[in-house]
């Protein structure tokens, strides 16, 4: 009951600051931007008409898989950035402003406080991802050819798992930092480091959660789901749970001033 109180309050707060509108719209833009420009690139170049005499312009039209992957990779970069920015103040803002002291003076459980906020943020991001990638899929279907609904749905679900871990990391930094900017900065650094390490050792740590997007790409090319994606998913869930547990303990032992 207390959990749902905090959860509903979070959803309302997201709603009143228009996050439920602007985050999905921005994600949609990210998802359709690249497929659209790639498709119309030749036309745009034509209309600009600065092609020198005799030069032949040959733009290979991307394949369906390539086009769809563009949507995913755009969200994998800019979408992650937005997700981090949207959740950087979940706890840190309340601690800094002082509302936290009032909340704390009521019999609020730290677990409820952390997880309710986390799930509310995850819902916002998952919704935005699902909507934007479905719109991207629709555009790709019109412009480049067919991808099955099953394939896109499965890919979206795995992609959400990747974002789940990112929000977990953001929550962890939230639990002991006061500055939203620092939370965002360190979260992004952490995600970048994880990505770099996993791509260097991608043959060793095949279960790395940051490889989920690579496995999704392979899925679009081959139509076959790699077995490793399941290990990555388990690892992502484990890291998320770990982050949330540590965040709860950190917050509990944190001195307020």
Partner 1 sequence: MDATLIQLLLPLGVLQLILIVIALIDLRKIDETNGPKWMWVLIIIFFNFIGPIIYFIIGRRT
Partner 2 sequence: MTLMSVEQLTKTYQSTTVVNELTFSLEPGKCVALLGPNGAGKTTTLRMLAGFIKPTKGEIVFNEERFSRDVRHYVGYLPQYPVFHNWMSGEEFLTYVGQLAYLTKHEAKAKATELLELVNLSDAKKQRISKYSGGMKQRLGIAQALIHDPKLIILDEPVSSLDPIGRREVLNLIRELKKDATILFSTHILNDAEEVSEEILLMHKGEMIKQGAISEVSETQGTTSIHLSFEEEPKFIEERLKEIDSVFKVNREEEGFIVAVHDINIARSQLLDLIKHEEWELTRFEIGKTSLEDVFMKAVTE
- Nearest residue to 187 via CA among 202, 168, 205: 168
249 contacts partner 2 (rule: CB under 8 A): no
The Cα–Cα gap between 35 and 159 comes to 19
CB of 112 to partner 2, least distance (A): 9
Q: How far is CA 67 from CA 31, 75, 96, 115, 158, in A?
A: 10, 13, 43, 36, 18
Tell me whether residue 137 or residue 219 sits nearer to partner 1 (CB atom).
137
22 contacts partner 2 (rule: CB under 8 A): no
| Binding region for partner 1 (CB under 8 A) | 17-19, 21-22, 25-26, 28-29, 32, 36, 40, 82, 85, 93, 97, 139, 142-143
- For the chain, the 3-state helix, strand and coil shares in percent, each to the nearest 5, are 80, 0, 20
Binding part of the chain for partner 2, among 100-108, 146-154, 157-165, 213-221 by CB under 8 A, reads 100-108
Tell me whether residue 139 or residue 158 sits nearer to partner 1 (CB atom).
139
CB of 205 to partner 2, least distance (A): 40
Q: Environment class of residue 178 by beta-carbon count within 10 Å: exposed (0-12), middle (13-18) or buried (19+)? A: middle
CB of 97 to partner 1, least distance (A): 8
Tell me whether residue 12 or residue 61 sits nearer to partner 2 (CB atom).
12
Tell me whether residue 139 or residue 162 sits nearer to partner 1 (CB atom).
139
The structure tokens listed for 225 are 């789901």
Tell me whether residue 108 or residue 225 sits nearer to partner 2 (CB atom).
108
192, interface contact from partner 1, partner 2, none, CB < 5-8 Å by kind: none
104 contacts partner 2 (rule: CB under 8 A): yes
Q: How many CA atoms lie within 13 A of 177 on its CB side?
A: 18
139, interface contact from partner 1, partner 2, none, CB < 5-8 Å by kind: partner 1
Question: Are 166 and 187 within 8 A, CB to CB?
Answer: yes
The Cα–Cα gap between 158 and 133 comes to 12
101 contacts partner 2 (rule: CB under 8 A): yes
Phi and psi angles of residue 202, each rounded to the nearest 5 degrees, phi first: -60, -20
- Nearest residue to 223 via CA among 155, 160, 135, 163: 155
47 contacts partner 2 (rule: CB under 8 A): no
Q: Which residues bind partner 2 (CB under 8 A)?
A: 1-2, 5-6, 9, 13, 16-17, 97-99, 101-108, 255-256
């Amino acid at each position: 009951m207390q959990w749902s109180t905090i959860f509903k309050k979070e959803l309302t707060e997201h709603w009143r600051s228009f996050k439920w509108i602007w985050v999905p719209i921005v994600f949609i833009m990210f998802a359709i931007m690249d497929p659209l420009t790639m498709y119309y690139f030749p036309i745009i170049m034509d209309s600009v008409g600065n092609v020198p005499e005799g030069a032949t312009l040959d733009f290979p039209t991307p394949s369906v898989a390539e086009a769809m992957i563009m949507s995913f990779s755009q969200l994998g970069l800019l979408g992650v950035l937005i997700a981090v920015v949207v959740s950087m103040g979940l706890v840190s803002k309340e601690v800094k402003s002082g509302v936290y002291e009032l909340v704390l003076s009521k019999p609020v459980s730290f677990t409820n406080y952390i997880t309710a906020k986390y799930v509310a943020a995850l819902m916002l991001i998952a919704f935005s991802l699902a909507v934007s990638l479905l719109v991207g899929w629709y555009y790709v279907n019109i412009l480049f050819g067919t991808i099955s609904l099953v394939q896109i749905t499965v890919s979206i679900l795995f992609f959400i798992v990747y974002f789940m871990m990112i929000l977990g990391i953001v929550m962890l930094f939230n639990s002991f930092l006061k500055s939203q900017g620092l939370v965002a900065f360190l979260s992004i650094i952490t995600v970048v480091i994880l990505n770099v390490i996993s791509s260097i050792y991608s043959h060793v740590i095949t279960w790395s959660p940051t490889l989920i997007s690579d496995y999704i790409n392979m899925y679009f090319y081959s139509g076959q789901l790699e077995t490793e994606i399941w290990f990555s998913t388990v690892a992502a869930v484990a890291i998320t749970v770990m982050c949330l547990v540590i965040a709860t303990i950190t917050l509990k032992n944190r001195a307020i001033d």
